[in-house]
Amino acid sequence: MSQLQNHTGQVQHRSQLALYLSLPILSWAFYDFANTIFSSNINTVFFPFYMDEVLGKNETMQQVASTFISYANAIASFFLVIFSPLFGVWTDSTGYKKKYIVWFASISILFTFMMGIFANWQTPIHSSGVPFNLFLVVASFVIAKFFFNSSLIFYDAMMGDLGTKEEMPLISGYGVAVGYLGTIFGLLVYIYVGDSGFHRAFIPTAILYLLFSLPLFFINKDVPLPKAQRKTVKFIDGYKEIFQTFKDMRQHKAIFTFMIAYFFINDAISTTIAMMAVYATAIVGFSSGQFIILYLVSTISTIIGSLAFGYITKSIGAKRAITWVALLMIVALTLAALATQQWMFWIAGSLFGVSLGSMWVTSRTYIMELSPTAKRGQFFGLFAFSGKVSSIVGPAIYGTVTLWLKDYGTLASRVALSTLIVLTVIGLFVHLTVKDKNSK
């Protein structure tokens, strides 16, 4: 356990260095390093580059490529919405977390590898001018992303086993910061890939994802409930729990209000992550190499932001910290939507990087603050449920706008990005209505 006791039974608090060098925390953070390699290399950079390379032969087809990317992300999120309630109940009813991370991460790694296999498969079969193997790559992406996101539900819930309530902001910030170092490391694949043939990044990414997941696989231990306390879980049980919790909304009103706010804010986050590569290259005029540099700068901003907001959250409280992060996101998205020069997008990317890492640090900490200990796994499942429903809506809106306005060229993407500003503003206003008794 994270709290040490001396011979008198008194709790001994760890120094920050001891906290960060604790083997369970370090290996837990390394899984963030591993899965962020997948998130950045596949979700943000090389899969969108690959789709634009295969489909985006002109301005109209670039918008079609954006629609493909958006809808693929929406479908992966749809399946997560279906299953995430069950995952939370699994955790609460068994105590297992690492066990599920191992299985789900392994499946995600396998299908990331299969993306590379299918992308290399040359086939004469086409449908509406789209090669058949591209559909297989997209299907593999959907499966890989679904299991990647599913593993994060258990990963987030595991954080509560690693430290005290007072240590949670620092542990959360540390995990995010180490994770974004994974972004920098993963992008070294670009040296091998270069400015074309982006599908060649898929298999190396799968290997790196596996390699840096191994510390958690072998070091961290589950603390399962005694067999007498475990319950047999059926598929419908997760939804029964959600229904029951909705019935008890008066007792947990603050966390539900925040989840509604997070729904809108995460709309903007998840969609921006998925679309920023294609937007920067097709709309603002970045080359793939320039975008990689921009993304690295944004990632450094994310690391700084996540570490800084770990301390800021501890100082001013998670609720106020989230408010500041949302305001920062609005500024970043507005600059991006209006960007006509690359320097404007450089600023927007850096600001979004800070807000991205900070939102994950502050929101995870806020869920920990608001959740009853006995229902923590269930509430992290609900947290994922709120976030992933929004991950359907945001990309679906973006993809639909680009599809409807594809004949207007780059204007379609600017209008689509502007919808994310509206969603973030709505989320901020809802968040300000959260009545948190513990907020500073």
Q: Where are the domains of the chain?
A: 23-220+234-432
> Which tokens go with 13?
């608090």
Whether the pLDDT of residue 14 is over 90: the answer is no
Whole-number Å distance between alpha carbons of 110 and 112 = 5
Whether the pLDDT of residue 333 is over 90: the answer is yes
3-state SS, residue 244: helix
**CA angle, residues 86, 87, 88, in degrees to nearest 5:** 90
> Which tokens go with 210?
């596996």
* Separation of CA 22 from chain center: 25
In the predicted model, what is the mean pLDDT of residues 69-96? 82
Burial, 353: exposed, middle or buried (Cβ in 10 Å; 0-12, 13-18, 19+)?
buried
Regarding predicted confidence, which is higher, 378 or 23?
A: 23
pLDDT score recorded for residue 48: 92
pLDDT score recorded for residue 234: 64
Give the chain's count of helices (H) and strands (E): 16, 4
3-state SS, residue 138: helix
Whole-number Å distance between alpha carbons of 103 and 177 = 25
pLDDT category of residue 45 using cuts at 50, 70 and 90: very high
Contact 397, 272 (CB under 8 A): no
pLDDT score recorded for residue 348: 93
Q: Which amino acid is at 319?
A: K
> Which tokens go with 259?
């989840």
Q: Which amino acid is at 34?
A: A
**CA angle, residues 276, 281, 283, in degrees to nearest 5:** 85
Whole-number Å distance between alpha carbons of 126 and 103 = 34
Whole-number Å distance between alpha carbons of 158 and 235 = 22
Contact 159, 364 (CB under 8 A): yes
> Which tokens go with 226?
């005694």
pLDDT score recorded for residue 274: 84
Dmax of the chain from CA atoms?
Answer: 74
Average pLDDT score, the chain: 84
- Read off the pLDDT of residues 255-294 as tens digits, 9 standing for 90 and up: 888 888 988 998 898 888 888 888 898 888 898 899 999 9
CA nearest to 259, candidates 382, 421, 158: 382
Q: What are phi and psi of 12, to 5 degrees?
A: -105, 125
User: H-helix or E-strand containing 131?
Assistant: strand 130-131
Whole-number Å distance between alpha carbons of 401 and 417 = 9
- Read off the pLDDT of residues 289-331 as tens digits, 9 standing for 90 and up: 999 999 888 888 887 887 888 888 888 888 899 999 999 999 9
Q: Domain 23-220+234-432 is of which CATH architecture?
A: Up-down Bundle (1.20)
Range with lowest mean pLDDT among 50-64, 65-79, 272-286: 50-64
Contact 231, 90 (CB under 8 A): no
Report the percent of the chain where pLDDT is more than 90.
33
pLDDT category of residue 6 using cuts at 50, 70 and 90: very low
Regarding predicted confidence, which is higher, 21 or 349?
A: 349
In the predicted model, what is the mean pLDDT of residues 166-177? 78
Whole-number Å distance between alpha carbons of 359 and 366 = 10
pLDDT score recorded for residue 9: 40
Contact 421, 334 (CB under 8 A): yes
